[in-house]
Amino acid sequence: MAAAITTTATTLEGQAFEIVQALQTLELAIPEADRPNQVTIDTDYEALTVALAVTIPISFVTIAAGKMEISANTYL
């Protein structure tokens, strides 16, 4: 299990950006031959925007009363 990160941003948007940056840093620490490359941060300096994309594996679990629950799986 990965260690929790502490964000310093005071907005949800800023926190989301920091989390994706931390995830990308963890990915980049993996040797290139084995790196999953499932995190993308695209910055548009002209529009002053950033597009964040994260692809993570999921699993489905049936819980009480047949309700379906979706969970993110570990991939790093």
State the Cα–Cα distance between residues 44 and 48, nearest whole angstrom. Answer: 6
CA atoms within 13 A of residue 16's CA, in its CB half-sphere: 9
pLDDT digits (tens, 9 = 90+) for 32-66: 999 999 999 999 999 999 999 999 999 998 888 88
Q: Give the pTM.
A: 0.82
- Say what the pLDDT of residue 4 is: 86
Task: Break the chain into its structural domains and give their ranges.
Answer: 12-72
User: CA–CA distance from 21 to each of 36, 40, 46, 47, 63 (Å)?
Assistant: 15, 9, 20, 20, 33
